[in-house]
Structures are given as structure tokens and as C-alpha cells.
Amino acid sequence: MKGAQSTCHHSYTLSLLLVSILLFHHPTVSVDVNTLSSTESLTISSNRTLVSPGGVFELGFFKPSALQRWYLGIWYREVFDQKTYAWVANRDNPLSNSIGTLKISGNNLVLLGHSVLWSTNLTRGNLSSPVVAELLPNGNFVMRYSNNDTPSGFLWQSYHRKTGRSRFLTSWRSSDDPSSGYFTYELDTRRGLPEFYVMHKDIELRRGGPWNGIEFSGIPKQRKPYYMMYNYTDNGEEVTYKFFISEQSIYSRLTIDFHGILYQLAWIPPTSRWTALSTLPTDFCDNHINYCGPNAYCELNRLPTSCNCLQGFDRIPERSEGCVRMTPLSCSGNRFLLLKKMKLPDTKMASFYRRINLKKCEEWCLRDCTCTSFAAADVRNGGTGCVMWTRQLNDTRTYSIGGQDLYVKLAAADIDRNEKKIGWSVGVSLMLILSVIVFCFWKRRQKQAKAAATPIVLMNGVVLPRRRNLSEENAVEDLELPLMEFEAVLTATEHFSDCNKVGEGGFGAVYKGRLLDGQEIAVKRLSEMSAQGTNEFMNEVRLIARLQHINLVRLLGCCVDEGEKILIYEYLENLSLDSHLFG
């Protein structure tokens, strides 16, 4: 027993020793961190990064090309195939080599190379409270007081880069050069209704259209997934646009590329790629603002030209773009023409009334001698709010999906002219439709007539036709005998096989045949040498039909088809007449 106890004791001691060795010699496990304290730093050489809680975003140094240019940025950590960047700190001032450090110094975040290349540039009075830098779950990089992690304690944040009172997107210079490019996407709130514009340097290149309660009227969503939610606020004090994702596994971003194309993209894990939900431009109609000129609209599928005058307008003489009114407006006698699925005109010179309905908007525009058109500001719930234009209508187009109603004020004469055009078009369309209906009815009657010539009457179990509409050459009147399809005769006689020939005379050959039900028939096929015409043949058929008698071989039918003249009798075996009559 003692030996056993001693063995157990030594075994237990050895186990503790092994555990101790494993604990003391276990290599250090890398743990993701999302904060940088005032005593820490990130360097290129250490390859250390900050990772947001949940692991979606990562902050660190990167080099996008073979050139020795290093940047501090934030990217999507889980998008493996193509590194997608959400923010770059020193985009216009890269590190020229792999010597770079990010740290907190003097209560500021600073990026150091041989000198300070980037800084948060904060001035703060309370220097006694320590600060930390933190990468949040949504990818926002913030600097805050260490004892206050609420948004009110944020001293600086990457998502709120100070560029005056507005924030905008700026494109990269190229696919591997994050320096500031030539295109921006920004919100203009200075005139009319707030609208987003794609700018090329200081020139308005493309217009996103005003918010209509669901989307920007100039950027209709190509896809409207269930997981996307949008929020637009315009309360007179601020204008903000936000979008949210209801599914945690899906990412979305708004970006403008170095070609000046705006994308809203979604990353859906099963597809492992970025999918475009909307783009600007959507097609060539959005290539640049006012593509077709004033009072004209672009229609993608309209040929020979995509640019057309609004109804009630005509081309400006000696100009390739733009249109003018056919009849000038007066202060009375005007009416409105409804145009559907339109991109609303540029709202720079438009008036916006938030609290009136569409009916009141129409009344106001009708009374205002300078008003040229109106539309609902919000298309939800039948339309609320009012947008009124008082000058020419610029940068309009049609959409196959999306867009909204635009009411254009026209002189009554132009409305009447348009209604006459519509009436004429409707009349022509109705005539075309009626012609198609008549043609289809005629074709159907032909098919019915042909179907009537197909086997539909049972005679001793075989199907024979009641009547047949023949060509002019073979036209016949209705007979008391059924007409048989030539194809049926061919089948019954095995294509007039010599094996089935039972006799031949001066007027043609006689064949034995068998119908589908097994009934045997005798088929007399008149030869071309008989010189008998259709009328003579039909007279013969009528005569034989009237002479039907119990003592005569019964005529079952005939065939006048494909240039053939055929008589079909019941078949008698090669016996005597006495055998047939009395057997």
C-alpha cells in the first residue's frame, strides 16, 4: 500500500511540475487591442495595429504601391481579397521610408517621421487629465479623456474632420495613390433645396437631386435591400444624411473613386465582393449637369437622340442644346402637364415650402405668374411639401424605375395641342391594336377551319373529317360524305405501297388499306391520266353517294387534297358477289 501511495504522490508531483513548466514557458499570445495610451506608440517596424471591438476595422501603417510611401489608415479587416480603406490620416503627406511613429504627445495625436507629418492640432486647457486614442466598433478613431468614453468626451474623431461647417468625400488621386484627387462629393445648402453634387475641382459635374423622403431623386437605388435604412434630416438648422445596416454581417460604404463615380456599396459575406446599390452617374444622361440644356430632358432609350424638349417646348434655333416655350405664359388660362418618373430640375433657384400639401402647392403655382412648375418635396403618403420653380428647368431626365412626378405649367393652347397629339397617337394606337385583333381573329378562324378538317367524326372507330376548307383549286361545297385527310390515306396504305395494290385500270389504281381502328378499306386513287377535273370528280362522288345501297359496295368517303382525287370504299375480299350478299 505504501508503494502504491508513493507512486501516486510522485505522479501528482510530476504533473504539477509539467503544468508549471508549460505555464512559465508558454509563448506570448497576441491579443487584439483597440486603444493607444499616452505611454504607447505604433511604429511601422513593430507592425502593431489597433483592432476595433468585433474585429471589423483595423488601424495601422500601409504602403499601397511599390513606392516608398507609407500612410496611417483604417481599413476593413475582414475584407481579405481587396483591402478597402475607410480613412487615411496623412494622405497628402506620406512617410518617405519605413520610419514612422504614431503616439500621443502634448495632448495631441501626432505622426512622426523625420518631422511631424500629421497631427490632430488640438489646443486643450486641462492638461492634467490623461487622454487615450481608441478605435471604435464603427471604425471611428477618436481621442478622448481616459475616464470618459461617451461621445461627449471625444476631443477629436476621424469621422468629423473639420472642413468648415460641411463634410465631404474626396477621391483618391489614383487606385494606389491616396492623396487628394480631383473629385469631391459635397452637400450644397446655400441655395434652394439642399442637394449633393459631384464636383470636379470647383465645377459642379453631377447632381444627386433633392431628397424626396425615400431617396435622392437623382440617384435612384438600383437595389433596395431590406437591411439598408436611411435617415435624412433637414430642420432648418442642420442637414444630415445617414444610412444604417440592420445586419451585423453586412458592411456598407459610400465612396467616390478617382474617376469621379459615386458608389454606395454593400459587402455581403456569401458573395465576398462589394455590390453596388446605387451609382452616380447611372448612365450617360448623368455624365454632366444639364446634359440636354434648359427645358429639355434626357431619355435613355429614345432614338435617334436621347435629348428631347419638354412637352410645350421647342428647340432653340441655331443651338444644339436647350428648348424654349412654344407659347409664353400669361397670368391666367394656364394649366399643368404631368410628367412621370422624372429627375426633378436643379433646385438652386427653387422655393421650398415644408408644410403645405400638393393641392395647395398647385394653387400657389397657378396664382404665381412667375412659377413654371412644381413637385412634391416628399413623395410619401401621396405627396407633401412643395417645391416650386420660377425659371427655366435644368438638368432633367426620365427613369424606367424611380423618379417622381413633375407638374409643368403650360399655356392652354399648348395643353390642347398636346392633347390633340395624344388623341391622334391614341387613335393610331387603337387602329393598330384593332388591326392586330382582326388579324389574330382571322388567323384563329383559319386555324379553326384547319382544325375542322382534322379527324373529328368517328366512323366505325376511325376518325374522319367533317369538312375541309380547300384552296381555290380544290374548293368544294359541303358533302354528305366525310372528307379524309391525305396524310390519313398515306398512313392507311403505307404510302401507296405496291404490296397493298390490289388492281389498276385506266382511271387509276386501287389499294388495300387499314384504318387506325383496324377497319380495312379500298382506296381508289385517280391517276393524272384520267383528265378528270375537280368538279367532275365531285359530281361523281355526289352521284355514288346518292346510289348507296345494301347490294352495292359502300362508299365511305373521299379525299381531295394535295392535288389528289381519291375514293374510299369498304374493302371486300376477293370473293363472289353472292358470297357478299348472302354469305
Highest mean pLDDT among 42-56, 189-203, 456-470: 42-56
What is the rounded average pLDDT of the residues 398-403?
A: 88
Is pLDDT at 427 greater than 70 in this prediction? no
pLDDT given for residue 114 in this prediction: 87
Q: What percent of the chain has pLDDT over 90?
A: 38
200 or 26, which is more confident: 200
> What is the tens place of the pLDDT at every residue in 300-330?
877 667 899 999 999 988 777 899 999 999 8
3-state secondary structure of 436: helix
Highest mean pLDDT among 197-211, 479-493, 515-529, 560-574: 197-211
CA 508 vs CA 387, 504, 516, 562, 567: distances in Å:
90, 6, 25, 16, 11
pLDDT given for residue 431 in this prediction: 78
Is pLDDT at 265 greater than 80 in this prediction? yes
> What is the tens place of the pLDDT at every residue in 244-260?
888 888 889 999 999 99
Mean per-residue pLDDT over the chain, rounded: 80
Per-residue pLDDT band at 24 (split at 50, 70, 90): very low
Q: Are residues 127 and 267 in the same domain?
A: no
Query: What is the domain-level CATH number for residue 87?
Result: 2.90.10.10
Name the one residue in this structure whose C-alpha cell is 483618391. Answer: 172
What is the rounded average pLDDT of the residues 488-511?
A: 85
Chosen domain end from 417, 443, 476:
417
Q: Are residues 216 and 79 in the same domain?
A: no
Is pLDDT at 384 greater than 70 in this prediction? yes
In a domain? residue 540: yes
Q: Are residues 157 and 77 in the same domain?
A: yes
What is the rounded average pLDDT of the residues 276-296?
A: 90
Q: Are residues 467 and 394 in the same domain?
A: no
For residue 111, the enclosing domain spans: 35-162
Q: Are residues 155 and 183 in the same domain?
A: no
Chosen domain end from 162, 193, 208:
162
Is pLDDT at 166 greater than 80 in this prediction? no
Q: Are residues 482 and 359 in the same domain?
A: no
Per-residue pLDDT band at 5 (split at 50, 70, 90): very low
Domain total in the chain:
3
> What is the tens place of the pLDDT at every residue in 515-571?
888 888 998 888 766 666 777 777 777 777 776 666 667 788 888 876 788 888 888
Per-residue pLDDT band at 89 (split at 50, 70, 90): very high
177 or 239, which is more confident: 177
In a domain? residue 45: yes
Report the C-alpha gap between 515 and 89 in whole angstroms: 92
Is pLDDT at 134 greater than 70 in this prediction? yes
Chosen domain end from 366, 392, 417:
417
Q: Are residues 44 and 190 in the same domain?
A: no
Is pLDDT at 274 greater than 60 in this prediction? yes
445 or 204, which is more confident: 204
Positions at the binding site for ATP: 524
Give exposure, 225-244, as e/b (b: 16+ Cβ within 10 Å).
Answer: eeebeeebebeeeebebeee
In a domain? residue 10: no
In a domain? residue 425: no
In a domain? residue 436: no
Enclosing H/E stretch for 110: strand 108-112
pLDDT given for residue 303 in this prediction: 67
Q: Are residues 128 and 92 in the same domain?
A: yes
Residue 164 amino acid letter: G
3-state secondary structure of 63: coil
Per-residue pLDDT band at 49 (split at 50, 70, 90): very high
Q: Are residues 93 and 192 in the same domain?
A: no
pLDDT given for residue 529 in this prediction: 64
Query: What is the domain-level CATH number for residue 521?
Result: 3.30.200.20
Positions at the binding site: 524
CB-based contacts of 359, cutoff 8 Å, min separation 6: none
What the block records as the C-alpha cell of 235 is: 430642420
In a domain? residue 438: no
Per-residue pLDDT band at 272 (split at 50, 70, 90): confident
Q: Are residues 146 and 196 in the same domain?
A: no
- Other CB atoms closer than 10 Å to residue 13's CB: what's the count? 10
Q: Are residues 188 and 320 in the same domain?
A: yes
Is pLDDT at 470 greater than 50 in this prediction? no
In a domain? residue 255: yes
Q: Are residues 221 and 347 in the same domain?
A: yes
Is pLDDT at 491 greater than 50 in this prediction? yes
Is pLDDT at 141 greater than 80 in this prediction? yes
In a domain? residue 430: no
Is pLDDT at 14 greater than 50 in this prediction? no
pLDDT given for residue 480 in this prediction: 60
